[in-house]
A and B are shown apart, each in its own frame.
Chain A
């Protein structure tokens, strides 16, 4: 989230799209209702009428997988009707930048596309620069190659008629949403968006969110109280696990994973340290070398020296252009290339798309290590439906883990609040915290390498790995301090702007990432979280102060919000170029003449009207401004509507490119696809429920919750049920080209057919909370038996939300 949960109360308009907040984030929804009580308008756009719809001002049904068309229409509306916040767009976005002459967009493709590689060469997705190397700007926004004019041209194709025909949303409903949401494009109104997996689970997932980011920048809704884009994320520490990057492409703190062509530390740092010639751009990532070297020191400390490039060569390197996501891992496992698998606190045999392929892949494993508080379908895959254990070679371990209240540590919520939790009781039996299990496994491996050696053994034997306490248990405080960062030598830090020098002693904790060094004097496990301890060793994550000095619900003394306890990101954009709040009634920040007052500002510099010392507000962007034109994306700098991998249409109504041209296609014999097929004529989407969590791997074992939601069902609209002769409560079969899922039919008014391209299209929906292991003999299994192995072109988040099925009586 750019903002945080309590801040939702500050909004004037809330668009809930890609989320069923009332059922999946009930306590977040409380804050949405607080806004409503104060007069805010709440809009729900979703294929299905849910309990969220019931509490909103109105609900607009939309065909799964057409969000970009819907939002692209809103951009068109905002620009055509001049509803954008001009002062903000001019000063705080790259609307005025001039794009390279070679850039173009034709029939669904941007310049630079290579159809064989399904990739773009982004050479023309750049800005024209002046003699000093600063991007050229046209503040009149009339230059035909200005970002503003290109944006206008791109979305001029998203007319009401076209968008309605693609999405199945009536023109009246489109206009209603556009008008109300665009009303926030003024200084004293705030609009926010809440999304969840409903936006990420698409081949166009990242661009769904980017389309909304463009809208928020146009309306001046980024960086303000009650604004922003807010991901209601689905796991208790998914923010923290992402920050610590248990992800193939990043190292803790979103540092880039190494690739093979970057064979030296210098080359790596040169590639990932952005350079800006504009003196008004803070370009905060120019500090990248400090964060990266401090991370290397956190791994190998004394063994990482200037002479060995701080151990750079010891880290693994990915092949350039290759990806190693979950879907790639199971694809490689299916091909017999992955032999051992650690599955920790997860149930991938239920949660991964195309579960039949995943389970078949697991049969190729030599060994499987599971760590969990309950058994699940992954750990016991060797005795699953249709599997003969006597034919499965895999050596399996299931290690008992401590539950969350049986261990001390921190968890980060979606609003980036890193909250400390305490141990209430001992874990039962032999169970241990996952951290302790992992430390002990690695310590045992390390011992073997110390004794026997092996390839690249330095990476292992040199690893600083002293995170058990004197009694041999997980020393969580020691790890937390390592993450925060520490001075490895006596260090004097000079602040030239302030004219101060501060001395730190060896062993002292770093007070924040501003103190990290690129020469090996500091070690820091994750620069983002630096500052979670004070230099004197006080744990700020454990803070429980309830003060609310701004009255906006920032709660600056409750826990620690990264970065540097900033509660709302990009907050300097809540003020005009002179530092005066755009909306004095919701004053998040204000320049007092020599400093900022309010939330922790995005950097201490004066507002940008001060041409000598002032900085632009989007300090993590190289150019310092909000990116209406975003060349970082795999499929184009402006989001474009493409159909899902599997949909009801043979053609995309907007261009000749049916599906995302940059999405990777998996080609194993188990990766079958059926687009616009008579055999699988119904759009299917998936979701959760209040009583279960994710795969149900924790909640299915709880009698109180299971009684409320006992088994798998499919929601079918009344008209389709009539056509198929299916009755409510009847056991039926849902199938895709990849698999089947027997379940109970729930005939409902919540799904209504859509009119798409003049034809009637039915959509059905299923929860994803079930598996075969428990409850026993329910006949339920994973909904992911049906879903395809395909994902977003940037993130490889699978397309669980739009695929094609059939429903049949048994």
Chain B
């Protein structure tokens, strides 16, 4: 199926997107269903406005999330007019911020587990994941712990566990990860600042 960009945009506007995008291997039906629900809201009267900061580049543009007070759902996200850097404007990614919310049905919502040699993800609960991960961390750390190096110097480290990430989470989360990794004795600690 040959489509021009203009034809594509016209078509998605006219028929709601699902059919046209499916020809590109995308399925927008869940997004459309979510949008239908949004259509039932009285946006002006019930909106609560919550500010956030963009999660892409490091300019730090402000955004305002409009949240439906009845359902607690975000129904619109746009640039923050009061923000001194972006003054309401946003780039293409920022303007599409809404597609990061739960409206995007590719979002992960369950704990997923893949057993050794398994061919599929399985859904699990948090209790399973936390206790199993803790056990693996302890066993790997204890088995591979280096108390002293080849020179006999006290080093108290574990080179068998690595940590990567993330410049895509909040400061308080970064501090938690930085501290956790050190307390475990890890030295392979890195994140996107390096790349």
Other-chain residue from A352, A390, A418 in contact with B171 (beta carbon distance below 8 A): A418
B interface footprint on A459-484 (CB within 8 Å = 1, 0 otherwise): 11001000100000010100110110
In whole angstroms, what is the CA distance A708 to B99 when docked?
15
- Partner of A244 from the list B93, B121, B174 (CB cut-off 8 Å) is B174
Nearest A-chain residue to B50, judged by Cβ: A424
Is there contact, CB below 8 Å, between B110 and A414? no
B53 & A404 in contact (Cβ 8 Å cutoff):
yes
Q: Which residues of B contact A263 (CB under 8 A)?
A: 153-154
Give per-residue flags for B172-195: 1 if the beta carbon is below 8 A from chain A beta carbons, else 0: 111111111111111111111111
Cα separation A562 to B194 with both chains bound (whole Å): 21
Total count of chain B residues near the partner, CB < 8 A? 123
> Is there a chain B Cβ closer than 8 Å to A623's Cβ?
no
Assuming the contacts A246-B190, A317-B157, A340-B160, asked whether A411 and B171 have C-beta atoms less than 8 A apart, the reply is yes
Residue of B nearest to A545 (CB): B84
Contact among A241, A693, A797 for B57, CB-based, below 8 A: A693
Stretch at the interface among A271-279, A324-332, A724-732: A324-332
Considering only CB atoms, which chain B residue lies closest to A365 in the complex?
B162
Separation in Å of the B144 CB from the closest CB of chain A?
A: 7
Query: Do A398 and B172 touch (CB < 8 A)?
Result: no
Given contact pairs A237-B169, A319-B155, A344-B163, A483 touches B135 in the complex (Cβ within 8 A): no
Proximity bits, A32-68, B CB within 8 Å = 1, else 0:
0000000000000000000000000000000000000
CB distance from A393 to the nearest CB of B (A): 5
Chain B contact residues, CB within 8 Å of chain A: 8, 17, 21, 24-26, 28, 31, 50-63, 65, 67, 72-74, 77, 82, 84-86, 89-94, 96-97, 99-102, 104, 106-119, 121, 125-126, 129-138, 140-142, 144-145, 147, 149, 151, 153-195
Tell me, in angstroms, the Cα distance from A102 to B52 when the chains sit together: 56
| Residues of chain A with a CB closer than 8 A to B108's CB | 372-375, 398-401, 429, 431
Q: Is the CB of A441 within 8 A of B137?
A: yes
Is A105 at the interface (CB under 8 A from chain B)? no
Of A175-183, A450-458, A643-651, A738-746, the one with at least 4 CB within 8 A of chain B: A450-458
CB < 8 Å: which of B117, B185, B190 contacts A390?
B117
In the complex, the answer to whether B67 meets A424 with C-beta atoms within 8 Å is: yes
Q: A410 in the interface, Cβ–Cβ < 8 Å?
A: yes
Q: Which residues of chain A come closer than 8 Å to B61, judged between CB atoms?
A: 27
Task: Pick 7 A–B contacts, CB within 8 A, sort by A.
Answer: A234-B58, A235-B168, A316-B158, A340-B140, A395-B114, A435-B170, A692-B93
Give the contact stretch, choosing among A633-641, A666-674, A698-706: A698-706
Judge if A243 is at the interface, Cβ distance under 8 Å: yes
In Å, the complex CA distance between A482 and B175 comes to 10
Q: Which residues of A contact B151 (CB under 8 A)?
A: 260
A795 and B168 contacting across the interface, CB-CB below 8 Å: no
- Out of B109, B136, B155, name the residue touching A366 (CB < 8 Å): B136
| Residue A346, interface by CB 8 Å | yes
The answer to whether B57 and A346 have CB atoms under 8 Å apart is no
Q: Tally of A-B residue pairs with Cβ under 8 A?
A: 499
Query: For A406, what are the chain B residues with a Cβ–Cβ distance below 8 Å?
Result: 101
B84 and A555 form a contact (CB under 8 A): yes
- The reply on A108 being an interface residue by CB < 8 A is no
CB pair A425 B93 closer than 8 Å: no
Given A236-B54, A415-B60, A345:B168 Cβ within 8 A: yes
C-alpha gap A449/B185 in the complex (Å): 13
Of the listed stretches A126-134, A161-169, A247-255, A490-498, name the one at the interface; the rest are far from the partner chain: A247-255
- Please, which residue of chain B has its CB at the minimum distance from the CB of A258? B155
A609 CA to B33 CA, complexed, in Å: 70
Asked if residues B136 and A442 are in contact (CB atoms below 8 Å), the reply is no
Q: A396-B114, A455-B145, A703-B26 are in contact. Are A421 and B187 (CB under 8 A)?
A: no
Compute how far the CA of A807 lies from the CA of B169 in the bound complex, rounded to whole angstroms.
38
In the complex, how many angstroms separate the beta carbon of B74 from the nearest chain A beta carbon?
5
- In the assembled complex, the CB of A318 is this many whole angstroms from the nearest CB of chain B, namely 6
State whether the Cβ of A141 lies closer than 8 Å to any Cβ in chain B: no
Size of interface on A: residues with Cβ below 8 Å to B: 171
Q: Does A447 contact B (CB under 8 A)?
A: yes
Beyond A237-B168, A328-B188, is A399–B129 a contact (Cβ under 8 Å)? yes
Task: Give the residue of A396, A432, A444, A479 whose beta carbon is less than 8 angstroms from that of B176.
Answer: A479
Q: Provided the pairs A428-B107, A449-B138 are in contact, do residues A341 and B164 lie with their beta carbons within 8 angstroms?
A: yes
Assess the B100–A413 pair: CB atoms within 8 A: no
The answer for the CA separation of A529 and B66 in the assembled complex, in Å, is 30
- Pairwise interchain contact A396-B65, C-beta atoms closer than 8 A: no
Q: Are B110 and A345 in contact (CB under 8 A)?
A: no
Asked if residues B166 and A344 are in contact (CB atoms below 8 Å), the reply is yes
List the B side residues contacting A544 at CB < 8 Å.
82
| Contact assessment for B57 and A232 in the assembled complex, using a CB-CB cutoff below 8 Å | yes
Tell me if B110 and A400 are in contact (CB < 8 A): yes
A348 within 8 A of B: yes
Q: With A and B bound together, what is the CA distance between A776 and B134 in angstroms?
A: 34
Asked if A186 is at the interface of the complex by the 8 Å CB criterion, the answer is no
- Supposing A316-B157, A342-B161, A797-B195 touch, asked if A391 and B117 sit within 8 A by C-beta, the answer is yes
Interface centre among B25, B92, B131, B149 (most CB of A within 10 A): B92
> CB-CB < 8 A to A260: which residues of B?
149, 151, 153-155
Closest 10 CB pairs of A and B: A429-B109, A413-B60, A409-B170, A345-B166, A444-B134, A344-B165, A316-B157, A435-B173, A238-B167, A424-B65
Given A393-B116, A411-B171, A435-B176, A425:B74 Cβ within 8 A: yes
Output the nearest chain A residue to B182 by Cβ-Cβ distance.
A315
Report if A422-B52 is in contact (Cβ < 8 Å); known contacts: A233-B57, A248-B189, A798-B195.
yes
- Assembly CA distance A135 to B190 (angstroms): 37
CB-CB under 8 A for A317 and B188, given A456-B145, A704-B99: no
A454 near B195: Cβ-Cβ < 8 Å: no
Q: A413-B58, A425-B74 are in contact. Are A316 and B182 (CB under 8 A)?
A: yes
Which residue from A397, A454, A690, A796 sits with its C-beta under 8 Å from B129? A397
- Beyond A344-B177, A703-B99, whether A317 also contacts B160 by CB under 8 A is no
What distance in Å separates the Cβ of B129 from its nearest Cβ neighbour in chain A? 6
Q: Known: A351-B192, A699-B93. Is A342-B84 also a contact (CB below 8 A)?
A: no
Q: Smallest Cβ distance from A621 to chain B, in angstroms?
A: 23
> Is residue A439 contacting chain B, with contact meaning CB distance below 8 A?
yes
A435 to chain B: closest residue by CB: B173
Question: Which residues on the A side are within 8 Å of B166 (C-beta)?
Answer: 241, 246, 344-346, 434
